[in-house]
Amino acid sequence: MTELNSPQTTAPPKMAAQGVNVFYGEKQAIRDVSLDVDMDNVTAFIGPSGCGKSTFLRTLNRMNDTVASARVEGLITLDGENIYDRSMDVVQLRARVGMVFQKPNPFPKSIYENVAYGPRIHGLASGKADMDQIVERSLKRAGLWEEVKDRLQDSGTALSGGQQQRLCIARAIAVDPEVILMDEPCSALDPIATAKIEELIHELRGRYAIVIVTHNMQQAARVSQRTAFFHLGTLVEYGETDQIFTAPRQERTKDYITGRYG
Ligand SMILES: Nc1ncnc2c1ncn2[C@@H]1O[C@H](COP(=O)(O)OP(=O)(O)OP(=O)(O)O)[C@@H](O)[C@H]1O
């Protein structure tokens, strides 16, 4: 199955899932999914509503732990280490595998504090000057610095939706993650703000392993190099984005990308 589900790559995967099942109570939402995420490519998860994209994404940083009825089976590794092992510190894991949500969710604090919060709780800054640098570097990487550098003490919630989403990306970046998971990060944004996030994803590629859930197939085609198509909780096909969109191997993938259902 691994051969079928993972595009060829020479580097070891940053994250690897093997035989993953997810249940909400009795109901199974993910069925026997195996897939690798590598460092150099943006990976997109696509598929019709309810197919399990978000559920599977959330297994990658144990976000499903916060749902009482959720149960995850199978193996998921980060640099070869089982993230569901008892010895795994989940707070550290979520710093290493950061997440950006559908709706921008800045803290009701200043722009500066939104970015400084994570580094502070993880003890990443040695003093004020160091923290200032982390905040500046994170905001620069998130493409927001020029717009906010003169008002770092303003509330993060006073920014536009697109700026808030870039602030959330800066917040994820500030703790120096290795992987960034994005769950439909543009679905609450207008086309201009969406284009900025897509540009940003291009710029961040290679520095972080990026996985994006999107219901927008054009977006998947624009931002990703690998695409995984999910249907009814199964991974139907995973390959190079170009191949998935121009020469899908599975009938169900073809039906979805040609708009036959979805
Ligand atoms: N907290 C939960 N409790 C119970 N069932 C859930 C929960 N979250 C998701 N589900 C169910 O799991 C299945 C997969 O949902 P999920 O949100 O992962 O799909 P999705 O592909 O991301 O959908 P969408 O594109 O609509 O966000 C659905 O049947 C959904 O109803």
Q: Which of 22, 28, 33, 51 to mutate to test the pocket of ligand 1 (most atoms within 8 A of CB)?
A: 51
Evaluate whether 95 touches 177 at the Cβ level (below 8 Å).
yes
Which protein residue's CA is at the shortest distance from atom 29 of ligand 1?
Answer: 50
Q: Is the pLDDT of residue 262 over 80?
A: no
ipTM strictly over 0.90?
Answer: yes
Record the tokens describing residue 40, joined without a space: 């150099």
pLDDT tens-digit map of 15-56: 999 999 999 999 999 999 999 999 999 999 999 999 999 999
What does the pLDDT read at residue 1? 40
Q: Is the dihedral of CA 183, 133, 41, 92 positive or negative?
A: negative
Residue 184 burial (CB count, 10 A): 20
Total count of domains within the chain: 1
- Domain assignment present for residue 118? The answer is yes
Query: How many Å apart are CA 35 and CA 228, to the nearest integer?
Result: 9
57 lines ligand 1 (CB under 6 A): no
Nearest to 98 by CA among 75, 122, 81: 122
Evaluate whether 194 touches 166 at the Cβ level (below 8 Å).
no
Query: How many Å apart are CA 86 and CA 71, to the nearest integer?
Result: 15
Distance 167 CA to ligand 1 centre (A): 26
pLDDT tens-digit map of 90-131: 999 999 999 999 999 999 999 999 999 999 999 999 999 999
Query: How many Å apart are CA 115 and CA 15, to the nearest integer?
Result: 26
Q: Which residue has the higher pLDDT, 8 or 1?
A: 8
- Domain assignment present for residue 152? The answer is yes
Residue 9 pLDDT grade (very low, low, confident, very high; cuts 50, 70, 90) = low
Distance 27 CA to ligand 1 centre (A): 11
> What is the domain-level CATH number for residue 101?
3.40.50.300
What would the mean pLDDT of 203-209 be, rounded to a whole number? 94
What does the pLDDT read at residue 11? 75
Place of tokens 């249907």: 231
Which protein residue's CA is at the shortest distance from atom 3 of ligand 1?
Answer: 24
Residue 3 pLDDT grade (very low, low, confident, very high; cuts 50, 70, 90) = very low
Q: Starting at the edge strand that comes first in sequence, how are the strands of the sheet with 70-78 ordered?
A: 27-37, 15-24, 70-78, 81-82
50 lines ligand 1 (CB under 6 A): yes
Distance 188 CA to ligand 1 centre (A): 18
Distance 118 CA to ligand 1 centre (A): 28
Burial of 119 (0-12, 13-18, 19+ CB in 10 A): buried
Which protein residue's CA is at the shortest distance from atom 6 of ligand 1?
Answer: 24
Record the tokens describing residue 98, joined without a space: 């950061």
What does the pLDDT read at residue 2? 40
Distance 40 CA to ligand 1 centre (A): 28
Task: Please tell me the pTM assigned to this model.
Answer: 0.94
- Domain assignment present for residue 262? The answer is no
Pick the atom of ligand 1 nearest to 233's CA: 14
Evaluate whether 61 touches 93 at the Cβ level (below 8 Å).
yes
Distance 55 CA to ligand 1 centre (A): 6
Q: Which of 20, 22, 24 to mutate to test the pocket of ligand 1 (most atoms within 8 A of CB)?
A: 24
- Domain assignment present for residue 215? The answer is yes
67 lines ligand 1 (CB under 6 A): yes
Domain housing 148: 2-257
Q: Is the pLDDT of residue 5 over 80?
A: no
- Domain assignment present for residue 228? The answer is yes
Q: Is the dihedral of CA 220, 226, 229, 230 positive or negative?
A: negative
What does the pLDDT read at residue 12? 85
Query: How many Å apart are CA 163 and CA 169, to the nearest integer?
Result: 10
DSSP tag of 13: P
